[in-house]
Amino acid sequence: MAHLTATIIAAHGRHYLGQIDGELLHCVTRGKKSDVAVGDRVDIKRTSPNQGVIEAIAERKTLLFRSDQYKSKLLAANVTQMLIVVATEPGFSDDLVSRSLVAAEAAGVTPHIILNKTDVTELLPKVRQRVALYAGLGYPVHEVSVRANPDAARALLEPLLAGQSSIFIGQSGMGKSSLINLLVPDAEIATREISAALDTGKHTTTFTRLYAIDQDTSVIDSPGFQEFGLYHLSEGMLERAFVEFAPHLGKCKFYNCHHLNEPACAVLEAVTSGNIAPIRHDLYRQLVHEASQTIGY
């Protein structure tokens, strides 16, 4: 039968959903391979009217993934930007925001931060102060209230999405689902269709899915996760993923400086002088430590 080119719009275990024009095809990989990600462009061989086998994955523009010392988990392929959703309440984790930023930088994906629930005005000044850290690093911060002012949120974010493939990342309760329902027409219907086609039962929020908005605009919703391991990033990748390190790199006494406790380290001096935030350097230290862990330790 004919070979088809599809976009993977959902993944659940080793089951995938490929979309070709409007049609959905339930796909599996050959053998035990499970290296396909939502957003991948794939060659599919149709095996029945609504089923196929993934024969090949097209070269990816970007690939986002998480990893610990044992395994890695693909998040999404070919995304161009990452929208990190935080809110006035419940409290968000700086650790998760920075890990997301580092993952995006390492993958060549442009990060943006969306601060939702600005209608909770009593908490706004404090949260603005926290988010200022990221704005200060050059990351765009967009303030919205999906509940109190959905029209303004849509007007602000629609142009940001246009022509891009955007992945939304956020801890539980930040309003990510509300945002996606606002920005993606019929998102809930699409999710039900995906669920039915993949037979995932009620677990509609436990899988990553892609909504194609038009020919060159798509939105990917990832399930909330607590851990964002980045064991796959080498020290060299890490030092470049912390964008504020850039002006100091190459200025340490030792050319192979790890920026952890070396004398005359330009990065550590920048932490001391207040040019690099301690919580960011602490995370760098933690990620270098994690990356040095291997099975058997």
Ligand X SMILES: Nc1nc2c(ncn2[C@@H]2O[C@H](COP(=O)(O)OP(=O)(O)OP(=O)(O)O)[C@@H](O)[C@H]2O)c(=O)[nH]1
Q: Cβ(220)–Cβ(210) under 8 Å?
A: yes
170 binds, among ligand X, Zn ion, none (CB under 5 to 8 A by kind): ligand X
For residue 27, say whether it is annotated as part of any ligand binding site. Answer: no
Q: Which stretch, 38-46, 71-79, 171-179, 284-292, contacts ligand X (CB under 6 A)?
A: 171-179
Secondary structure element (H or E) that encloses residue 181, with its range: helix 176-183
The reply to whether 26 sits in an annotated binding site is: no
Omega within 30 of 0 (cis) for the link into 90: yes
- Only one residue has tokens 């850290």, namely 133
Determine if residue 223 is left, alpha or beta; phi over 0 gives left, psi from -120 to 50 gives alpha, anything else beta.
beta
CB 245 to ligand X: min, Å: 31
- CB nearer ligand X, residue 206 or residue 292: 206
CB of 148 to ligand X, least distance (A): 6
**Does residue 115 bind ligand X (CB under 6 A)?**
no
Q: Which of residues 129-168 bind ligand X (CB under 6 A)?
A: 145-148
Residue 124 Cβ, how far from ligand X at the closest point, in Å? 11
Interacting residue with ligand X among 12, 99, 112, 176 (CB under 6 A): 176
Beta carbons within 8 Å of 23's beta carbon, 6+ residues apart: none
CA distance 202 to 192: 9
User: Would you say 252 is a known binding-site residue?
Assistant: yes
For helices 150-161 and 176-183, angle between their N-to-C axes, nearest 10 degrees = 70
Question: Is there a contact between 123 and 88 (Cβ–Cβ < 8 Å)?
Answer: yes
Distance, CA of 231 to CA of 226 (rounded, Å): 15
Residues that bind Zn ion (CB under 5 A): 252, 257, 259, 265, 267
Nearer to Zn ion, 102 or 267 (CB): 267
Residue 265: name its binding partner from Zn ion, ligand X, none (Cβ under 5 to 8 Å by kind).
Answer: Zn ion
Question: Is residue 209 a contact residue for ligand X (CB under 6 A)?
Answer: no
The DSSP element (H or E) to which 152 belongs, if any, is helix 150-161
CB of 288 to Zn ion, least distance (A): 12
Cα 13 to chain centroid distance, Å, stands at 19
- C-alpha angle 57-62-63 in degrees, rounded to nearest 5: 75
Binds 112: which of Zn ion, ligand X, none (CB < 5-8 Å by kind) = none
Shortest distance, position 91 Cβ to ligand X, whole Å: 13
The residues that touch ligand X, with contacts defined as CB under 6 A, are 116-117, 119-120, 145-148, 170, 172-178, 224
Going by the annotation, the residues of the binding site for GTP are: 116-119, 170-178
